[in-house]
């Protein structure tokens, strides 16, 4: 089909590889194996080298770009051929190219949309699992920061994958450590005693911190008790925040340190909302966690920890919504007999097996 251009990926790779593509195979270490390519599979290639001998090159030794170009060069022009290429690329562990080919096939032939979506889902799951494994290995090997970055990549790039749950659980078990305290330096003498007008605010800050710490000690399964302690901590901080304008109006001149105390209250609220969101996610109470999360984002919309929690909470909310489930998850539930009637109906609709005259089955 002249209208189908093998997709941007395949065309680019073929041009980049040059006219000697069929006679040269690049390896991961930069070595070029010259000869006649006899066979190309997801598992590797077979080349007839100079002198008439044959050499088998496994996929693990091949340069991914060269392997992808060889596979693309042998694929047909029809959308079904491109979909078959996508599956081959997926088996070879080339997840990005597999996604590109699957999308191209589905766009060229809408009847392949379901099959293309299945390849996309499998490619996302496979890449997310690989990132999760690397992240956990880094953490186990003592590279905690690098491991957490990989886990956050799973959370942010693949929020609907099964691996995302494992990444989220690992991040909750091993949160980033607080930044180290700045080194003590010689400075001016310690400030004078806090003004009496600000002491009630300090007392409320201390009470909120204690309630937050108490909430963290509550067992995970007692989410109601956690929520109650967190709510009381929030009320203490809001009471302190409401008292600041009154202190300004009552005094002829603002009490020394009032701006600093106001900033402390705001920072304490953001910290509380972050801790509350995390603790309630641990307790599997996504709805309550979302309330605290949005209050925190209203005060600190670009806070990276709150934005990360937003992804976790969104996933927790969507977990049981069949409209947001991947085909892999729906297939597993239908096969296991644990799918709801709505899940079965959506599964049939996506796979084209829905019978309008038949009642939906499921729990």
pLDDT digits (tens, 9 = 90+) for 289-300: 778 888 888 888
Of 123, 173, 179, 157, whose CA–CA distance to 308 is shortest? 157
Cβ atoms of 274 and 280 closer than 8 Å: no
Q: Scanning the structure block, which residue is given the tokens 């701006």?
A: 259
214-271: pLDDT as tens digits = 877 877 667 677 788 888 888 888 888 887 777 776 655 556 677 888 888 888 888 8
Of 305, 300, 299, whose CA–CA distance to 277 is shortest? 305
Buried/exposed 256-295: b ≥16 CB within 10 Å, e otherwise = ebbeebbebbeebbbbbbbbbbbbbbbbebbebbbbbbeb
β-pair type (24-26, 32-34): antiparallel
Q: Which one is predicted more confidently, 222 or 25?
A: 25
Distance of alpha carbon 86 from alpha carbon 12, whole angstroms: 16
**Biggest distance spanned by C-alpha atoms of the chain:** 99
Distance of alpha carbon 346 from alpha carbon 352, whole angstroms: 10
Tokens of 205: 């800050």
Cβ atoms of 341 and 363 closer than 8 Å: yes
Whole-number average pLDDT of the chain: 75
Mean pLDDT for the stretch of residues 194-211 = 79
**Partner residues linked to 40 by β-bridges:** 45
Cβ atoms of 121 and 328 closer than 8 Å: yes
Q: Residue 18 pLDDT more than 60?
A: no
CA-derived radius of gyration, the chain: 29
What letter would DSSP give residue 27?
B
What confidence score (pLDDT) does residue 254 get?
Answer: 58
What letter would DSSP give residue 22?
G
Tokens of 27: 């390896």
Query: How would residue 174 be classed by pLDDT, with cut points 50, 70 and 90?
Result: low
Range from 6-15, 59-68, 71-80 carrying the lowest mean pLDDT: 6-15
> CA 175, 176, 180, 181 torsion: positive or negative?
negative
β-pair type (44-48, 24-26): unpaired
Q: Residue 356 pLDDT more than 50?
A: no
Tokens of 110: 């809408």
């Amino acid at each position: 089909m002249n209208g189908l251009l093998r997709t941007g990926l395949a065309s680019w790779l073929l041009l980049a590889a040059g006219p000697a593509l069929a006679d040269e195979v690049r390896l991961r270490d930069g070595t070029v194996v010259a000869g006649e390519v006899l066979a190309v599979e997801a598992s590797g290639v077979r080349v007839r080298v100079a002198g008439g001998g044959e050499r088998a090159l496994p996929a693990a030794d091949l340069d991914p770009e060269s392997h992808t170009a060889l596979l693309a060069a042998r694929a047909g022009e029809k959308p079904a051929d491109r979909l078959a290429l996508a599956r081959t690329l997926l088996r070879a562990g080339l997840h990005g190219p597999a996604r590109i080919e699957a999308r191209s096939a589905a766009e060229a032939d809408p009847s392949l949309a379901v099959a293309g979506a299945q390849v996309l889902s499998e490619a996302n799951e496979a890449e997310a699992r690989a990132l999760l494994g690397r992240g956990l290995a880094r953490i186990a090997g003592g590279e905690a920061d690098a491991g957490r970055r990989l886990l956050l990549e799973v959370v942010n790039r693949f929020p609907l994958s099964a691996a995302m749950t494992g990444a989220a659980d690992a991040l909750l078990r091993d949160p980033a450590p607080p930044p180290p305290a700045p080194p003590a330096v010689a400075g001016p003498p310690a400030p004078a005693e806090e003004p009496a007008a600000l002491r009630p605010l300090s007392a409320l800050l201390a009470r909120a911190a204690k309630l937050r710490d108490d909430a963290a000690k509550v067992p995970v399964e007692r989410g109601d008790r956690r929520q109650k302690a967190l709510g009381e901590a929030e009320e203490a901080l809001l009471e302190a925040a409401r008292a600041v304008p009154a202190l300004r109006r009552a005094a002829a001149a603002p009490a020394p340190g009032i701006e600093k105390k106001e900033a402390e209250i705001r920072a304490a609220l953001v910290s509380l909302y972050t801790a509350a969101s995390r603790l309630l996610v641990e307790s599997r109470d996504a709805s309550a966690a979302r309330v605290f999360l949005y209050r925190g984002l209203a005060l600190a919309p670009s806070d990276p920890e709150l934005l990360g929690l937003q992804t976790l909470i969104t996933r927790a909310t969507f977990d049981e919504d069949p409209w947001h489930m991947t085909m892999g998850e729906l297939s597993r539930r239908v096969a296991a007999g644990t799918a709801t009637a709505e899940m079965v109906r959506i599964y049939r609709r996506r796979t084209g097996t829905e019978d309008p005259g038949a009642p939906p089955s499921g729990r």
